[in-house]
Structure 1
Amino acid sequence: MTTPAATPDQGRGAAPRRGRLTVYLGAAPGVGKTFAMLDEAERRRGRGTDVVVGLVETHGRAGTAAKVGDLEVVPRRDVTHRGTTLTELDVGAVLRRAPDVVLVDELAHTNAPGSRHPKRWQDVRDLLDAGIDVVTTVNVQHLASLTDDVEAITGVRQRETVPDQVVRDAEQIQLVDLSPQQLRRRLAHGNVYRPEQVDASLRQYFREGNLTALRELALLWLADRVDDALTRYRADHAIASTWPARERIVVAVTGGEESETLLRRGARIAQRAAGAELLAVHVLPTDGLPSAPPAAIAAQRALVEALDGTFHTVLGEDVPSAVVDFARGVNATMIVVGVSRHSRWRQALLGSSSAEIARLSGAIDVHLVTHERARSGARLPSRLSSLSPARRVAGWVSVVAVPALLTGLFAAVGPRAVSLPTELMLFLAGVVAVALVGGLWPAVAAAVVSFVCLNWFFTPPTGMLTVADPENLLALVVFVVVAAAVASVVDLAARRTVQAYRARAEASTLAALSRSVLSGEDTAQAIVQRLALTFGLDDVRLESRTDDRDWTVVAQAGRSAGGGQHAQTTAVPLDEAHRLVLVGRALPASDRQAVEAFGSQAAIVLEHQRLRRQAAAARELEHAEATRTALLAAVSHDLRTPLTAIRTAVDGLAMPDVELDRDDTDALTATIQESTRRLERLIDNLLDLSRLQTGSVRPVLRPTSLDEVVLVAVEPWLGRLDLDVPEDLPLVRTDGGLLERVVANLVSNAVRHSPGDARVRVAASAAPDDVEVRVVDTGPGVPDDRKESMFQPFQRLDDTGTGLGLGLAVADGLARAVGAAVTAEDTPGGGLTMVVTVPAATAAPAGAVR
């Protein structure tokens, strides 16, 4: 049985590709997980993969040792502890070998003291971080969460454990299983333990009942892992329909006395299927009407937890829809509801929540449970109106005020001034007005009161609740029916209006959020702020899981830290490494999709950030690789040229059978000197470039005399220069040694590119806030389109092929380090002028150093 691949870790920025972990999970010792791991190694090697054995425990079994075959084995590391030499996985040797795949047996093993890590699973984590795929083995009894269960079954306490999350994070988990009878036969044949251990093992740990229970534990644990993968798949592919891959029983509780009956019945149904889940859902009203007593809800929550279930609270304008939405969201297979507490006639007129749930459930089964309160006539708070409390009060006041006003008006104008049909129409208009203000039930009451007023005051014989003319009776009955129908339509329209406004607001919010995310304008902090404001939450946190499996806050927003006294905390997982934590009021079932949409946008933002980090790292690596390539290509020539000249001159001076005159000796000596200086400049530039790229340049800025810096920098080329550096220039704030290297590189470059014996001019002048040093040559100059790229490393400005093209790159980098700037200008008449702008020293205290 193999679980689907998990989502790879995210948010590692520029880190190398993380290796993939494959785990062979044994239902019990001796089922053959090491054999299965070695089979996997053979298959991978057959496909051309570089596979090595980091550590395989044979336990003296000849078959296992033979199975290793000719696989390359990395030697183990010897560790001496209390006079005993132990062998452990040599993580350093595996990292140096750097295979594609390494086999590491017994993931839960505890390393000997003095090892790299206390536990072998920590060694495996280092290998994965280095980008090496790992195939490993572990038995189900070593999973940390099952330690107590295994001890209860076998009577043996496992001392070596591995955190469940380490195994859950594996890309693939392969269950290795045998029936208890087969495993006991293998044990009896001596294929697992030595003969002297077989009898005791069969009587103790390897009893058939123990093995059956361990096998079930392994299957149930792995089923949870598979269910997580299924949930991610359905979410990634927007699958709303129910997939009954696992029994999930949702019990709809109202907080009433009958809820305990429903919960116990749901628990019994869940117990019939191994691995089934029990979930209780309570819907809170959103219309301001009283909900169930908090004490009752707390008691039912405790009961659910005692029955190994989970309790959930959601908000909902409509109870049946909220229950069904929740059931679909958790991929439930059955909903358990109670028989309505309303009487039969009330159910006939208004329906019941249980019947509506059954109608809406679709493919989800609905289990209807009777109870002592069924059809008892006990009434729950009405949820038919979505109007505000003030409008409902005004509506009930209008029940009396509107008919009384109309009756008084007709009495004042005279009994025969207005006909009965006109009176009926005006009273109907009054009922519609009441419906607009107070909703359905006030309008129905107003219709009844209007009927009584019309009958008593305006229908012959007046002053009596009788009607002489059958047509008048029919008119009054039609009046009541039409009034009730109109009131119902008005109330329904008010409901739909509220829902439409809410849907439009959610759609507008999500559309704006999506636009900002897709355009790259939004951040994780902005998303959590929008989420907190949109849903009125006390606190919203976007958390990320670190390497040590702790959760750290990436972004946080809300009205208060931690929420109020009755705040609820809900965790919404986004992926394996990120989740949203919502603190505040319980969110309605209708908001679940909107919250998931916000979570999806947050995941997109985090993914964009990760990709941007990776892109930036890739650009840096690309630049570094280009630099290395250019360096190797250029150094192979430019380092060898002066070295060859030096070697040739030295060989000429050292020849014993050749007598050189003074001129030849001086020429060879000058060649050695010139080549040595060239080599020194080349090495200096390489070292400076390396220091700049690694950020190890640490300038010390202090007031400095510029004329002293320039004179030292240009000394090797004084015979080719025209200097104009006044001694009365203001002090500059710089690092004298680094600025000297800047000027020297610029002058060297100018001299090399000046034709023949043409002289280079070096001049300095003061400006209000800085001092400029200008190095002017009359060489070929540089085209405008190359003036920006000329400061990049290995950019030669001519086709002579001499020099590495580092001088200007080093000069620009060192100038930036000391707060100066280097720019290029055209020399009037032809050539290039390099301008170094150095900030003037401020009135800092004497001796101040930054």
Structure 2
Amino acid sequence: MADRRPDPDELLSHVKDVEEQARRGKLTIFFGAAPGVGKTYAMLEAARVETGDGVRDVLVGIVETHGRYDTASALIGLELLPRRTIVHQGIKLEELDLDAALERRPHVILVDELAHTNAPGSRHTKRWQDVEELLDAGIDVFTTLNVQHLESLNDVVAQITGVVVRETVPDAVFERAYDVRLIDLPVGELLQRLLEGKVYVPERAARAMENFFKEGNLIALRQLALRRTSDRVDAKIRNYRAAHGIDAPWHTGERILVCISPSPHSVRLVRAAKRMASSLQASLIGLYVETPAAIRMTPAARERLATNVRLLESLGGEPVTVRGENAAIETVRYARKRNVTKIVVGKPTHSRWRDVVRGSFLDDVVRRSREVDVYVISGEAEEPTVVRGKDERPPRTVAVAPYAAGVVVVAAATLVSWLMFGQKELADIVMVMLSGIVVVAMRFGYGPSLVATVLTCLAFDFFFIPPYLTFVVSDLRHIATFAVMFVVGVVVSHLTQRIRDQANSARQRERRTASLYAVTREVGLAQSRDALLDAAARHLREVFHANIAVHLPASDGSLAMALADEGTFAPGGQDVGIALWVWTNQKRAGRGTDTLPSAGALVVPLTGSRGRVGVLSLFPSAGARLDDADERQLLETFAGIIASALERTSLADEARDARLRVETEQLRNALLSSVSHDFRTPLGVVTGATSALLDEETPVDDSTRRELLQTAHEEALRLSRLVRDLLDMTRLEAGALKVKTGPLSIEELVGSALARTSDRLAGRDVRTNVPEDLLAFCDSALVEQVLINLLENATKYSPPGSPIEIAAKAEGDVVTIEVSDRGPGIEAAYAERVFEKFYRVHEGEGGGVGLGLTICRGIVEAHGGTIGVRSRSAGGATFHFTLPRAPASSLGEVQGKAS
């Protein structure tokens, strides 16, 4: 059984999952390949079992029988929750009463058809969201689901059946389910049930058999359902084994792992493993173990490794890279973690002495594998791989300086030993000379340290072992000293190089981690799409040494350039076609791939949880290493992060659009409710007055006739003002308001506004306090409209006969104009809201739609001024607004225009 303790991280994750399941209700999904396999009936039978002992309280939230007698009869004896009725476009729709279910709070509730879309007006758009709320409340849920409703299989089902399923459920809901029960039925029996009318009514069943319910479609859907259930069971097995520290694999299904390396023999190895996997109907995993020594891998070896990984991907395998000190240990450990049944390795082609010195990877794997079968396959090197799209690299040269420095260090150690100890203290001399080997190993690497070890042994013999200044050894006991010195020197060199490799590997991992953290943080904080792309492009340039271009979908569905560095895409060039191909096929293409490898760019798709979101193109510079498997893996991670961030901004835009649509709908409703009342009243009065005047049978004297005409005229003027306000508001919102400013006299503007509102101001004492020489830069017609609206507002919301005051004064660079009344005033809490559209604090004389003050604010702000309101201490309200002040030198110009 287990030969090791459970992994702490995996155990902690399992504990967290258990705690979350304890807080939430348990979701049981009755899963099937198509309608009619018996999911609802099986759910009802399971509910009867739950109620059999009387301990569990079971409630039927909503179950669709679709007219099936067997299903309806299974409901007998179960408590039914009354459905909530929603009227939409004159049609009564019945939905789950979520609030009643939460208030009733049963142990188990049955909610049929998890992928169902709720009627408009429901709390949630989808039924699975209702189920999530029930689970969060601690209520267990039984539900049903067909395989075609899973989000990840939506496009696959559409390709098979030709039917696009609109109602989908996120895979996360399916994966978090406590139990998934597969309800399966042979295709022949399902078609027979369809013919017998046990799935749909006869007319609908005939149409279904011609379209969705074809035999081939049902076979494919059944395979998808079985495979999806199998994947879930496999994941549960892995989680159980990890949580309980079970190291030995369980051979519940075949899974093959092939060891990949930069060796040219790996190509044949991968192909042989694929043939084995195909014959056994097994999944294939390709594993590459990156040891610290991989830091010294040559560019040619990196290219071969990348080619081998691409070959595995093209054959349908899953490439995996792990890092560790010992390749054999990591290979067996990962095989046990993934429940691998067979490991495929290559037959060694190097000499036996290499295994004696460094250890044998094959022997270690065989000895550690235990229950896992190990297959050793001989390989033949493929033809030399030509690096496509690159110039020939120059032959590798050996640096002479480190070796020369090693010789100098050995000479220095020999001289120091000679000067300090002469030829007497051999033990101290040995320690000093070994110190020189350590210095060379630390500073100059493995090769120079080996040379230094050999030179140290020779120098020790030549200078310190009698007979001196010769390589002859008279005392054979010194041979052991030479051997120990050599072994110690080699071991020290090897360990030092190993530590150096580990440090370099750690620095690379730190670079990857830091770059991923930085890009995740910045794109997560970005508030707009442009800021997100700028941050992502900056990190991509720094990490991959490449110019960046990003294509995103446009509103018309085409692919548009969203970001491009200099020297990337040329209009009409080949690379633009590559981006379109990647967008269509959702596969990598371009440089270093099997698709259009001669291109100058590596193009990868940006795919989020909801599908494709864009295309990322990298144009590598001289220092780029995009052919490296690690760099490709890092690039895939970057692409996933950027795609998720772009999807987040897209969702935020959709949320803003939805909020805008809601606000627009509210505005439309408010407009209709206000306008319908305020238009209907004056129209009704005008119609009644004119009808009375036109009726020849109704006697009307002169005074009555004049009164009716006066009433019709006043209401017509009121209607004209309403239409004017609506038109002005439309102009403001459309941006059609054009302000033509010039120096104007405030006194003349006030006088003109009073003249135009004389009929409304009749019987009132209007007091003005406006300096004669006060000028402002403004549009006379628009500012006059502001004054008219404020005066009309004062007449509406103040008692008849009460005074109205108009004052103006200069305050620095602005002119402040005030209109005060003796009405009820406006509380401070409503001081800002009175300028909103359709908002009225009080109902005034003559009504209105609540647009006059909104128009005033729009006109004043178009002049660069401000507008506000405050209550007066003696009662009433004062509306005040500011305009830019004109200098006194403009007075002559104004007087000239007036004359």
Shorter-chain TM-score tier: 0.5 to 0.7
Return the match for 1:450 from 456, 468, 474: 456
Cα deviation for residue 271 of structure 1 reads 1.2
Write out per-residue CA displacement over residues 87-136 of structure 1, whole angstroms, 9 at most, x where no aligned residue. xxxxxxx99969789xxxxxxxxxxxxxxxxxxxxxx9xx9xx9799999
Measured in 2, the distance between the counterparts of 1:404 and 1:619 equals: 82
Answering whether residue 402 of structure 2 is matched by residue 402 of structure 1, we say no
Please state whether the residue corresponding to 1:341 is helix, strand or coil.
coil
Measured in 2, the distance between the counterparts of 1:100 and 1:392 equals: 82
Answering whether residue 350 of structure 2 is matched by residue 342 of structure 1, we say yes
Measured in 1, the distance between the counterparts of 2:195 and 2:668 equals: 66
Return the match for 1:791 from 811, 832, 835: 835
Answering whether residue 375 of structure 2 is matched by residue 368 of structure 1, we say yes
1:789 maps to a residue whose letter is R
Segment drifting more, 161-170 vs 610-619: 161-170
Write out per-residue CA displacement over residues 409-452 of structure 1, whole angstroms, 9 at most, x where no aligned residue. 666x5994663223212211110111111233432332222112
Return the match for 1:287 from 296, 304, 308: 296
1:429 matched residue in structure 2: 435
RMSD: 6.8
Answering whether residue 857 of structure 2 is matched by residue 812 of structure 1, we say yes
1:442 maps to a residue whose letter is P
1:618 matched residue in structure 2: 659
Change (3 A) 1:327 1:182: same
Measured in 1, the distance between the counterparts of 2:667 and 2:197 equals: 61
Equivalent residue runs for 1:387-786 within 5 Å: 394-407=401-414, 413=419, 416=422, 419-469=425-475, 472-513=478-519, 515-516=521-522, 523-536=531-544, 538=546, 560=568, 566=592, 568-571=602-605, 573-578=607-612, 581=616, 583=618, 585-586=626-627, 588-589=629-630, 592=633, 596=637, 599-600=640-641, 603=644, 606-607=647-648, 610-611=651-652, 614=655, 617-618=658-659, 621=662, 625=666, 628=669, 632=673, 670=710, 673-674=713-714, 677-678=717-718, 680-682=720-722, 684-685=724-725, 687-688=726-727, 691=730, 695-696=733-734, 698-702=736-740, 707=748, 710=753, 713-717=756-760, 719=762, 720=764, 721-722=766-767, 734=779, 736=781, 739-754=783-798, 757-762=801-806, 773-777=817-821, 779=823, 781-786=825-830
1:455 maps to a residue whose letter is D
Cα deviation for residue 775 of structure 1 reads 2.7
1:834 maps to a residue whose letter is F
Change (3 A) 1:619 1:273: same
Asked whether the 8 Å contact 1:287–1:317 carries over to 2, the reply is no
Measured in 1, the distance between the counterparts of 2:672 and 2:190 equals: 63
Change (3 A) 1:616 1:280: same
Write out per-residue CA displacement over residues 151-188 of structure 1, whole angstroms, 9 at most, x where no aligned residue. xxxxxxxxx95689999999999999875776899999
Query: Structure 1 length normalisation: TM-score?
Result: 0.61
Asked whether the 8 Å contact 1:545–1:551 carries over to 2, the reply is yes
2:348 maps to a residue whose letter is S
Write out per-residue CA displacement over residues 558-598 of structure 1, whole angstroms, 9 at most, x where no aligned residue. 99556995564444643132467464504544984796377
Measured in 2, the distance between the counterparts of 1:598 and 1:52 equals: 46
Cα deviation for residue 731 of structure 1 reads 8.4
Please state whether the residue corresponding to 1:291 is helix, strand or coil.
helix
Asked whether the 8 Å contact 2:266–2:379 carries over to 1, the reply is no
Segment drifting more, 574-583 vs 540-549: 540-549
Segment drifting more, 266-275 vs 320-329: 320-329
Segment drifting more, 318-327 vs 534-543: 318-327
Query: Structure 2 length normalisation: TM-score?
Result: 0.58
Return the match for 1:823 from 864, 868, 879: 868
Measured in 1, the distance between the counterparts of 2:856 and 2:628 equals: 62
Asked whether the 8 Å contact 2:686–2:711 carries over to 1, the reply is yes
1:835 matched residue in structure 2: 880
2:832 maps to a residue whose letter is E
2:610 maps to a residue whose letter is E
Segment drifting more, 175-184 vs 267-276: 175-184
2:134 matched residue in structure 1: none
2:586 matched residue in structure 1: none
1:351 maps to a residue whose letter is G
Write out per-residue CA displacement over residues 770-805 of structure 1, whole angstroms, 9 at most, x where no aligned residue. 766543445554444443232124544558798457
Measured in 1, the distance between the counterparts of 2:864 and 2:504 equals: 62
Segment drifting more, 768-777 vs 308-317: 308-317
Please state whether the residue corresponding to 2:869 is helix, strand or coil.
strand
1:699 maps to a residue whose letter is L
Gaps in structure 1 of 5+ consecutive residues = 1-21, 27-32, 54-62, 68-93, 102-123, 151-159, 193-209, 375-388, 844-850
Change (3 A) 1:188 1:751: closer
Please state whether the residue corresponding to 2:880 is helix, strand or coil.
strand
Cα deviation for residue 536 of structure 1 reads 1.3
Cα deviation for residue 746 of structure 1 reads 0.9
Write out per-residue CA displacement over residues 137-158 of structure 1, whole angstroms, 9 at most, x where no aligned residue. 99xxxx999999x9xxxxxxxx
Asked whether the 8 Å contact 1:532–1:538 carries over to 2, the reply is yes
Change (3 A) 1:296 1:698: closer
Cα deviation for residue 815 of structure 1 reads 4.2
Change (3 A) 1:314 1:419: same
Change (3 A) 1:620 1:463: same
Change (3 A) 1:474 1:576: same
Measured in 2, the distance between the counterparts of 1:783 and 1:391 equals: 87
Please state whether the residue corresponding to 1:716 is helix, strand or coil.
coil
The structure with higher relative contact order (CA 8 Å, sep 6+) is 1
Measured in 1, the distance between the counterparts of 2:409 and 2:767 equals: 107
Cα deviation for residue 347 of structure 1 reads 1.6
What is the total number of aligned residue pairs between the two structures? 712
Measured in 2, the distance between the counterparts of 1:453 and 1:482 equals: 16
Asked whether the 8 Å contact 1:528–1:542 carries over to 2, the reply is no
Measured in 1, the distance between the counterparts of 2:675 and 2:166 equals: 51
Asked whether the 8 Å contact 1:283–1:315 carries over to 2, the reply is yes
Please state whether the residue corresponding to 2:375 is helix, strand or coil.
strand
Cα deviation for residue 748 of structure 1 reads 0.9
Measured in 1, the distance between the counterparts of 2:466 and 2:706 equals: 145
Asked whether the 8 Å contact 2:39–2:183 carries over to 1, the reply is no
